[in-house]
Amino acid sequence: MTKNSFNMSKIYGLARKAALFAPAIGRAMGPGDMESKIDGIVADYTGYAMGQGDWNWERLKRGWLPYIATSAVTKLIPALNKLIRSIF
């Protein structure tokens, strides 16, 4: 393989990184003041809202579910591809 060749593992890695940062970028680009944006970003990744002083699973899911789903899919695709190749 040459240095500039098509590499699916690099693409999968970039997809996982994008899924990890997407909730924070969405919050940062949305409306509101800086304090509420930071509170929203922290709440998305920890589940704890500093402004409200409580913890919630829904906030935690909003921050981590895109990364978990993307990681699962990018691990599953090569495994399925390997399985299909072994059958045929």
In terms of residue numbers, what domain contains 50? 20-87
The answer as to whether 4 is a domain residue is: no
The answer as to whether 71 is a domain residue is: yes
Q: What is the pLDDT along the chain (88 residues), one digit of tens a residue?
A: 556 667 888 999 999 999 999 999 999 999 999 999 999 999 999 999 988 889 999 999 999 999 999 999 999 998 998 999 998 8
The answer as to whether 15 is a domain residue is: no
The domain tally of the chain equals: 1
The answer as to whether 74 is a domain residue is: yes
The answer as to whether 8 is a domain residue is: no
pLDDT at site 64: 96
The answer as to whether 65 is a domain residue is: yes
The answer as to whether 62 is a domain residue is: yes
pLDDT at site 35: 93
The answer as to whether 6 is a domain residue is: no
pLDDT at site 4: 62
Using H for helix, E for strand and C for coil, what is the string for the chain? Answer: CCCCCCCHHHHHHHHHHHHHHHHHHHHHHCCCCHHHHHHHHHHHHHCEECCCCEECHHHHHHHHHHHHHHHHHHHHHHHHHHHHHHHC
